[in-house]
Amino acid sequence: MRLISVNRCQPGQKIAKSIYTNNGTVLIGAGVVLTQRMINRLQEYHISAVYIDDELTSDIIVQDVVSEQTRQEAMGIISETFKAYQIDPKRWRQLPGNQQIGQKFRHAVLSIIDELKGNQVAMNLLGSVGGVDNYVFYHSFHVTLYAISLGVKMGLNQKELTELGMGAILHDIGKMAIPQEILTKPGKLTDEEYKIMQKHTEYGFELLRKEDDIPLLAAHCAYQHHERCDGSGYPRGLVESEIHRYGKILGICDVFDAMTTSRIYRKAMLPHEAMEELFLGTGRLYNQQMVEHFRDTIALYPIGLTVTLNTGEEGIVVDYNRGVPSRPIIRVIKEPNGERISSPYEIDLSKHLNIMIASCDYIL
């Protein structure tokens, strides 16, 4: 399978990995042949990229980070709970199904932890959940996957991973109290609107800290995920020594997912571009050791991505080297002059240090 921009999709191409809606249900399933109407629908949903079957990459299988069942369960709980709070912030807990939210979220988080602990796949969420409506829902899910993976890499125990996961999946629930016209504004916020948006950290903290079945540290995740090591964050301007490590973890994961997700008003970055931005902020905005651990959990060049090497050849990422995320294995398919190679061959960049990826063919 091969990862391509939706803008480059053509009728007749076959979807290789299912495309999901915001609540975790399948929008277009694997094996479906695209029509122009389907492509238009993907564009309307602002889905940036999809995996298609390709003769050059028919042997490449991109594994899911977590199972479809776990994804649907988590996304369903996020969607139901966040919507209930958004509709009625004062009485939402009295609505059917909202009496035991801590128990429901804990079950979802434990399922994610179990699957991620046993999964050696580098994190690649490009195109895994579609749409820009209710961005907060799938952003919360993505950040949970990133945070737990980083926590595993850092050696957190089961109790800590559960606290972190609960904080991650609920870190943005306060945004449901922000006016919709601000939350979904397709452009830069005014200074006054930005001040209102910043309040989501306090709203989330005040909501979660009152819930007996949700860890207090999860509430602090909502409170601190926009704090930065140099004191430039909000809401309290804490410095690194004052920020809980869960808050620092979530700050990294939250920003990375935001940068790699397509929005109405801007295109997404590729993982390696977003990682470069994170490293530019190490020692100032983010803890450097945490960013380094995070880099080692991410597929910087996702399998199926088309790249151009510094030697001029074009190739497709077919595998990655764990521990050396910037040096994947490339299947070379075109000569520097653009001619198709009759017998494609593979290069392991971890063994050919003079060869580098010069650019990626991924136009959003």
Whole-number mean pLDDT of the chain? Answer: 88
Give 198-243 pLDDT, tens digit per residue: 999 999 999 999 888 899 999 999 999 999 999 999 999 999 999 9
Within a 10 A sphere around the Cβ of 24, how many other Cβ atoms?
Answer: 22
What integer is the mean pLDDT of 281-303?
93
- Amino acid at site 218: A
Sign (positive/negative) of CA torsion 85, 87, 90, 95?
Answer: negative
pLDDT digits (tens, 9 = 90+) for 309-318: 999 999 999 9
The CATH number that domain 68-295 falls under is 1.10.3210.10
- Provide DSSP, 49-113: EEEE--GGGTT-----SS-HHHHHHHHHHHHHHHHHHHH-TTTGGGSTT-TTHHHHHHHHHHHHH
The whole-model pTM stands at 0.88
Pick 2-57's CATH classification: 3.40.30.10, 3.40.50.720, 3.90.105.10, 3.30.70.100.
3.90.105.10
Which residues of the chain does CATH 3.90.105.10 include? 2-57
pLDDT for the residue 364: 44
60-79 tens-digit pLDDT: 888 888 888 898 899 889 98
**Catalytic residue numbers?**
175
CATH 1.10.3210.10 domain range(s) in the chain: 68-295
